Chains A and B, each alone.
Chain A
Amino acid sequence: MTDLANQKINPVITKKKNNRLKGPQSLSPAAYYSLIIFLTLLSLACVVPLLLVIMTSLTDEASLTVYGYQFIPQKFSLYAYNYLLNDFDKIARGYGISIFVTIVGTVSSLLLTSLFAYPVSRSDFPYRNLFAFIVFFTMLFNGGLVPWYLIYVNAGLKDTIFALILPSLIIPFNLIIMRTFFANTIPPALVESAKIDGASEWRIYAQIIMPLSLPVLATVGLFQMLIYWNDWYTSLIFISSENLVNVQYLLYRVINNINYLTSGFANQQAIDGALKTLPAQTVRMAMAVVGIGPIIIVYPFISKYFVKGLTVGSVKG
């Protein structure tokens, strides 16, 4: 009863705490709808360009030469995808490499990052700042590409699957996110009491810290998956064997071939020779669809978590 009275007298006090403002200060309907239209156009600008690639891959090659790349195919054809079946082995292998590196890389990365973040988050560990700094410093200064490359080559990592996994294992920024999470959300008293009960450090890490840290593990895991899945640079530098070409690098090689032919560096003989074996325009775009497809399919399901993860990461450690 009194609640009702209160509401009548003082709407501000009992107003539900939320960030949406109602009442006289909100936008006029006209402004609100133009805002929605504007944001819709902006959103479309972020996804529609991909539609051009998809539509081109479904176009008949001959009509493409006449009308160019179009959003609505003049003549529909599945030729490009049929053609790609010739390269099925290559594509399947590329997927195999990409999936393997992504899974192994992400899991190892989570394990190693958390195993380091836990000690440096412990307030009773006297060297926590020193060790955190050792990793943090690598964000400020690096030796550059040349010594890094030569050290990898010297270690015999050139043209191995490890060369694809190792470089992204420890991302300092992810370590900071994890450390902040451990330090802020896991009560030190919990660790203390577990110790008194005689739990070993390993046990505390595995049975207390890890289960309580699922949100941050999911966030960092997503970031790592994205890094591994999208990585083509490491392949470009280290990989020359056909067996280790992942999806992204396969795409890289397909498109950079054409450029080699059109940039004027190649001589006419090379062009004539290559053009015979070069996949047609539509096939290239079909290749892109095959390569980007998984991201398009998975994205609607994981984008939510990614948005959440970014907001966790934006808190300063």
Chain B
Amino acid sequence: MHIRNVIKFRVLFLMMLPTLAIVIFNNYLPMFGVVLAFKNFTFSDGIWGSAWAGLNNFKYLFQTDIAWLATKNTISYNSIFIILNNVFAVGLAILLNEIRNGRLKSVFQSTILFPYFLSYVAVSYVLYAFLGESGFINMTVLKGLGIDAVSWYSAADKWHFILPLVNTWKNVGYFAVVYLAAIVSIDPEYYEAAVIDGASKWKQIMHITVPMMFPIIVIMTLLQVSRIFNADFGLFYQAPLNSGALQNATEVMDTFVYRNFLLNGDVGMSSAAGLYQAVVGFVLVLVANTVVRRINKENALF
């Protein structure tokens, strides 16, 4: 930093100052706070004053089965979500693009995007209306089929399917809208040329639409892969109503950290879990980005 430049651009620095202060407080101080993972925290000594614990917190963390369960669940659910979201959204975008009536098209888009606007608290009410003891599924659907009622909030294995369903229902519209925008921006001349060559609709989709969408699909997927170790807290904690009986199916890193820290008060183990999550997440971003850079520099995030 040249002092001359600092003086020359002092007003720009001044403009950035408040935001910078917030980012330092909200993001960078906690980053330094990860030293907690190596300490025996006591409230009286605070973050910086507590005694060092070496790697004890990590030893303790990786001895628990739940840490591994949370790791496995976080990565496998997120992998399923990435595949479902993108496959369905690309398909949906291609279908929406075939609608010739502009008004109808925007009505479909808006409606499919609607669940994205609901908080997970709202979603948990909707789910409860369907899955509760006297919910629609138990009292109407299953009864109509002559099947016994299921207590959904204690049947863990069912949630392996419910969670991906809820996630897709809530988020697919968002991705579909983004992908549709990519399709709309494809130059129509490609299609005109294909039509002259006698390409069928299917061939046009396979040889023009999908390849032209590829860069945006890669970027969107990369963004999701980079967050593969960050679970959506609302989906895993609130949608199943924080039911303890479902732990096997719903425990992910974020719920694990939350529960151990704010419900059990175990600062050492939960901060170790948080750091483990942050570091693995960081490595995953770098790896995903490097892979994309190797294939095609244009599509990389950075």
- Give A contacts to B, CB under 8 Å: 12, 15, 17-21, 23-27, 32, 35-36, 38-40, 42-43, 45-47, 49-50, 52-53, 56, 64-65, 67-71, 112-113, 115-116, 118-120, 122, 125-127, 131, 134-136, 138, 140-151, 154-155, 166-167, 169-170, 200-202, 205, 226, 229-233, 237, 248-249, 251-252, 255-256, 258-259, 262-265, 281, 284-285, 288, 291-292, 295, 299-300, 303-304, 306-307, 310-311, 313-314, 316
Chain B residue with minimal CB distance to A167?
A: B26
B22 interface residue per 8 A CB criterion: yes
Q: Is the CB of A263 within 8 A of B134?
A: no
B195 interface residue per 8 A CB criterion: yes
In the complex where A43-B111, A259-B242 touch, is A142 in contact with B27 (Cβ < 8 A)? yes
Q: Is the CB of A25 within 8 A of B204?
A: yes
B71 interface residue per 8 A CB criterion: no
Q: Is the CB of B121 within 8 A of A145?
A: no
Q: In terms of DSSP, what is the predominant structure of the interface of chain B? A: helix
Report the minimum CB–CB distance from A35 to chain B (whole Å): 6
Residues of B within 8 A of A310 (CB): 174, 177-178, 181
Report the minimum CB–CB distance from A67 to chain B (whole Å): 6
B206 interface residue per 8 A CB criterion: no
Task: Name B23's contact: one of A20, A126, A170, A262 (CB within 8 Å).
Answer: A170
Residues of B within 8 A of A131 (CB): 16, 20
B287 interface residue per 8 A CB criterion: no
Chain B residue with minimal CB distance to A226?
A: B117
B82 interface residue per 8 A CB criterion: no
Question: Per-position contact with A for B1-45: 1 when CB-CB < 8 Å, else 0?
Answer: 100010001011101101110110111111111101000000000
Task: Name A144's contact: one of B11, B30, B174, B262 (CB within 8 Å).
Answer: B30
Q: Is the CB of B29 within 8 A of A147?
A: yes
Residues of B within 8 A of A15 (CB): 192
B150 interface residue per 8 A CB criterion: no
B68 interface residue per 8 A CB criterion: no
A281 to B1, CA, bound (A): 64
Count residues on chain B whose CB falls below 8 Å from chain A CBs: 115
Q: Is the CB of B99 within 8 A of A46?
A: no
A18 to B184, CA, bound (A): 9
Residues of A within 8 A of B36 (CB): 146-147, 150
Report the minimum CB–CB distance from A298 to chain B (whole Å): 9
Report the minimum CB–CB distance from A295 to chain B (whole Å): 6
28 contacts between A and B (CB under 8 A): A19-B186, A21-B188, A27-B98, A45-B169, A49-B130, A67-B139, A70-B139, A113-B19, A115-B15, A141-B278, A142-B30, A143-B30, A144-B278, A145-B274, A149-B261, A166-B22, A167-B26, A170-B22, A201-B15, A232-B121, A232-B234, A255-B121, A255-B125, A262-B153, A263-B241, A263-B244, A285-B125, A314-B181
Most buried by B among A46, A155, A281: A46
Question: Per-position contact with A for B213-238: 1 when CB-CB < 8 Å, else 0?
Answer: 00010011000001000000110001
